[in-house]
Amino acid sequence: MTGGGAGCLLSIWTKRKRNLNRIVAFLVGMLTCGAGAAQTILPDPVAEEGVEMGSQAGLEDWLAGFRTRALEAGIPAATFDAAMRGVEFNAGVVERDRSQNEFTKTIWDYLDTAVSGDRVTLGLQAIAANRDLLDRIEAEYGVEKEVVVAVWGLESAYGTYRGDLPVLGSLATLAYEGRRGAFFEAELIAALRIVQGGHVEDFTGSWAGASGHTQFMPSSWEKFAVDFDGDGKRNLWGDDPADALASTANYLRHWGWTKGQPWGVEVVLPEGFDYDQSTERVVKPVADWQAMGVRLVTGGDLPDHGPGSILLPGGHRGAAFLIWPNFQVIEKYNTADAYVVAIGNLSDQLRGGLPIQADWPRELRALTLEERKELQDLLGKAGFDPGGVDGRMGPKTVAAVKAFQKARGLVPDGYPSLEVLTLLR
């Protein structure tokens, strides 16, 4: 999905399979997301325990009040009544929303599927099949075709899994049901405007109301969708991906994509590297990193694409990357490091680049939601402010982990491992 639903793509779930391309869609689609928002929603994520699940009757009560607000927002009564007739409460959508961060994966488990050999092969086929279109999009928007195709690959398995849930029903359920209600209500009103304008026939998508080849939320359609094939419609939903792929390029351009700048490169760090420096918050000229002994994983000198940061998304025993501002542009789709690295490395491989070379510490397991909250709670009690106890391993929590590791004489890589939690207990 476009936007900041971190954690979404890290969740484990199964998807209903389509008839066509069933196996492929399942294999590569099981990691696609579609929960999000091409705007800024904070990924917020944590389920409230014991909160009662809504119901169809509750949704209908809510819709009566919402109708007034929608009409005040300019939706004609006839449009509202026709569109919302028969909208159903979808308990599965709520379940997924509540649990999306509870079963997070490690980055290496995520990348195994997100950037699998199948996904690379299918991406190369997608480029070959759409080369002229992709060349024109790249020329118009200044975003490399491999990056656009990588987004397509992760968001809908190159169009094979675009989602088959009614968008209005998903958004109404999430707007009514509470968590981020205001956000989803605004998206629902945007969706009604799309319906009112006659822009979409089969308005289906994935569970959080994102839809189309590259999983746009309705408000993103309004802001960023383009009619690239010139048929008068901004159609992200049909079999032809032209508008959707151009809209994605337009979205990335809007957020500041710099053509020719890599998202990042895999590097090796020298013996004695100061791990305090491995954070997006530390930005240095490439010459400085080079002088510190950082090199490409293949052994060469670092390419100079301007100031960048060192990132260790799996801790100091995993792969290291030198990243540039395009990394932050990809974060506008999804803020999870694993997602950005997946898009980045998939795009690299689609232009003949290497898979990630370093090993990952595969014996480590991901902390559960409860463990992540416990980690934050204990960090706070030990005097290392994690910025709240919400289960999200955001920048403050990473900084707190680093400070704790440093105080204990560990490598301060900021990785929230079971070892750190055990030491805090």
Residue 242 CB, nearest distance to Ca ion (Å)?
7
> Which residues lie closer than 8 Å to 167 by C-beta, 6 or more apart?
191, 203, 204, 205, 209, 211, 218
Q: With CB under 5 A, what is the number of residues at the site for Ca ion?
A: 6
Residue 226 CB, nearest distance to Ca ion (Å)?
8
Tell me the residue number closest to Ca ion, measured at CB: 227
DSSP type of residue 101: T
243 sits near Ca ion (criterion: CB under 5 A)? yes
Q: C-alpha 133: how far from its chain's center?
A: 25
Strands 264-268 and 309-311: unpaired
Residue 145 CB, nearest distance to Ca ion (Å)?
19
276 sits near Ca ion (criterion: CB under 5 A)? no
Three-class SS state of 309 = strand
Q: If residue 154 lies in a helix (H) or strand (E), which one and from where to where?
A: helix 145-156
Residue 201 CB, nearest distance to Ca ion (Å)?
13
Distance CA 343, CA 366 (A): 21
Q: Which stretch, 25-33, 45-53, 101-109, 230-238, contacts Ca ion (CB under 5 A)?
A: 230-238
- Residue from 199, 233, 254, 295 binding Ca ion (CB under 5 A): 233
| Amino acid making up residue 392 | R
* Positions of E strands within 262-418: 264-268, 295-296, 309-311, 320-323
- Residue from 118, 138, 227, 280 binding Ca ion (CB under 5 A): 227
Instruction: Give the x-and-dash track for 63-102 against Ca ion (CB under 5 A).
Output: ----------------------------------------
Token pair in block for residue 342: 């997946």
> Which residues lie closer than 8 Å to 3 by C-beta, 6 or more apart?
36, 37, 38, 39, 40, 41, 217, 220, 332, 333, 334
- C-beta of 169 vs 212, nearer to Ca ion: 212
SS (H, E, C) 351-393: CCCCCCCCCCCCCCCCCCHHHHHHHHHHHHHCCCCCCCCCCCC
Residue 316 CB, nearest distance to Ca ion (Å)?
48
179 sits near Ca ion (criterion: CB under 5 A)? no
Q: Which stretch, 33-41, 242-250, 251-259, 375-383, contacts Ca ion (CB under 5 A)?
A: 242-250
Residue 333 CB, nearest distance to Ca ion (Å)?
22
359 sits near Ca ion (criterion: CB under 5 A)? no
Instruction: Give the x-and-dash track for 337-356 against Ca ion (CB under 5 A).
Output: --------------------
Residue 28 CB, nearest distance to Ca ion (Å)?
26
419 sits near Ca ion (criterion: CB under 5 A)? no
Q: Which sign does the torsion angle of CA 34, 53, 366, 407 carry?
A: positive
- C-beta of 236 vs 330, nearer to Ca ion: 236
> Which residues lie closer than 8 Å to 51 by C-beta, 6 or more apart?
98, 178
Residue 39 CB, nearest distance to Ca ion (Å)?
22
- C-beta of 199 vs 295, nearer to Ca ion: 199
Q: Which stretch, 1-9, 141-149, 231-239, 417-425, contacts Ca ion (CB under 5 A)?
A: 231-239
Residue 236 CB, nearest distance to Ca ion (Å)?
9
280 sits near Ca ion (criterion: CB under 5 A)? no
- Residue from 81, 164, 231, 377 binding Ca ion (CB under 5 A): 231
Comparing C-alpha atoms, which of 112, 107, 101 is closest to residue 368? Answer: 101
Task: By CB under 5 A, name the binding residues for Ca ion.
Answer: 227, 229, 231, 233, 235, 243
